[in-house]
A = this chain, B = another copy of it.
Amino acid sequence: MLPTIARESHVVVMVDQRKLPTKEVYVRCSTAAEVARAIKTMVIRGAPAIGVAAAMGLAIGIRGSKATGTQKLAAEFYKLCELMASTRPTAVNLFWAIDRMKRSFAAGVEVGESVDQLKDRLDLEAARIHDEDVASCRALGAFGACVVPREARILTHCNAGALATAGYGTALGVIRGAVEAGKQVTVLADETRPFLQGARLTAWELLRDGIETTVITDNMAGALMRQGLIDLVVVGADRIAANGDTANKIGTYTVAVLAREHQIPFYVAAPLSTIDLRTPDGSKIPIEERSPKEVTHLAGTRLTPAGAQVRNPAFDVTPNHLIAGIITERGVFRAPYLESLKAAFELAEV
């Protein structure tokens, strides 16, 4: 298992994803503010992973509180929740994890738990969120393996791998699931500018697992599809709206259009925690615009001339009609998504 994020008593430890693959450096956060900063600056990224990080951040934040009464503790807790929620706007797993922590806290308060009991409860809930995420990835990987042909050249965009989750991965979970099911899989990884999650993280993960992987620049996928070199596309998601419209790393929409043009199935893999039934469609998903410097500079080298304007939307929205299926820990859901995704949650509650 890759060391995406782990808890060590009062500390949250993360591998610094900005430095991979050339350096394997670990960042140790001992306050909620440090975890929030790590999310914001992309020490850790990937929708499920930042949900887990936020939960652990809240747990260690409250663990470190000096409050002696539950009312004081609650005030601190909700303030930390606000801090955590302000880090990144698009991935719904962040808000989902914060909500779960809030519900757990409120439940503890309701039954009159002590400060120490509330702290223990948050530790436990964060650990559950972590462990459930790994379990969800393994389950969706097994379901996803079913849609992978016996021999498949799979394109993926960004990194929806172990590093984007508590472990195993979503899109890469499907690839790992297919390999474990004995299928012959080779992977094409879009390098994924500007942050290069594909070139740096996906390639690193899959090489470690011995899965044959070829990195391409984002603008090559179309030509390779036209040459018949891609059989299937699987990507992760940062937020899936109730109608199936999916926000994911910038460039995902382009891949989906290309896949449709070449009649290649395009799948989204994500745990239910990424599905946001309260967002009716993709137009309502907030899209983060990140610093221009991610585009203008690379490893300290200036790429664009001084004075050039740039855009840096971190995500785009793929409309539901381009998606062959949404692979979750409860199975593979198909259009019409408005019904199937709703049913997925009802299934989960059984």
On chain A, the number of residues with a Cβ less than 8 Å from chain B's Cβ atoms is 54
A101 in contact (CB, < 8 A): no
Complex CA–CA separation, A189 to B222 (angstroms): 19
B304 and A223 contacting across the interface, CB-CB below 8 Å: no
Asked whether A41 is an interface residue with its Cβ less than 8 Å from the other chain, the reply is no
Task: Give Cα A211 to B220, complex, Å.
Answer: 29
> With A and B bound together, what is the CA distance between A217 and B312 in angstroms?
8
Residues of B with C-beta under 8 A to A199: 295, 303-304, 308
A residues with CB within 8 A of B: 21-22, 157, 190-194, 196, 199-200, 203-204, 207, 212-224, 226, 250-251, 253-254, 257-258, 261, 295-296, 298-299, 301-313, 316-317
A251–B223 alpha-carbon span in the complex (Å): 7
Known interface pairs A215-B310, A216-B310; A305-B222 also in contact (CB < 8 Å): no
Of B157, B193, B317, which is within 8 A of A217 by CB?
B193
Q: Which of B200, B223, B253, B295 contacts A250 (CB 8 A)?
A: B223
5 contacts between A and B (CB under 8 A): A203-B304, A220-B313, A222-B316, A223-B251, A226-B253
A223: chain B residues at CB < 8 Å are: 250-251, 253-254, 313, 316-317
Give bound CA distance, A34 to B302, whole Å.
29
CA–CA, A22 to B303, complex, Å?
8
Closest 5 CB pairs of A and B: A219-B251, A222-B254, A223-B316, A21-B305, A193-B217
Compute how far the CA of A302 lies from the CA of B308 in the bound complex, rounded to whole angstroms.
25
Query: What is the minimal beta-carbon distance from A204 to any residue of chain B, in angstroms?
Result: 4
Q: In the complex, what distance in Å separates the CA atom of A303 from the CA atom of B22?
A: 8
Provide the residues of chain B in CB contact with A220, threshold 8 Å: 250-251, 311, 313, 316
A289, chain B: closest CB distance, angstroms: 11
Residue of B nearest to A205 (CB): B305
- Tell me if A203 and B305 are in contact (CB < 8 A): yes
- Residues A308 and B213 in contact in the complex (CB < 8 Å), given A299-B299, A301-B299, A301-B301: yes
* A305 B193 Cβ-Cβ under 8 A: no
Does B200 contact A304, Cβ atoms closer than 8 Å? yes
Residue among A253, A303, A305, A306 having the largest count of chain B Cβ atoms under 10 Å: A305
Cβ contact within 8 Å between A190 and B219? yes
Nearest Cβ on chain B to A102's Cβ, whole angstroms: 33
- Select which of B222, B305, B312 is within 8 A of A253 by beta carbon: B222
Q: How far is the CA of A310 from the CA of B213 in the complex (A)?
A: 8
CA–CA, A312 to B253, complex, Å? 23
Verify B215–A218 contact, CB threshold 8 A.
no
Q: How far is the CA of A306 from the CA of B204 in the complex (A)?
A: 9
Q: Which B residues lie within 8 Å of A308 (CB)?
A: 199, 203-204, 207, 213-215
Known: A190-B219, A193-B193, A303-B199. Is A213-B309 also a contact (CB below 8 A)? yes
Measured in the bound complex, the distance between the Cα atoms of B251 and A200 in whole Å is 21
What is the CB-to-nearest-CB distance from A281 to chain B, in angstroms, rounded to a whole number?
13
Report the bound CA distance from A312 to B191 in whole Å.
12
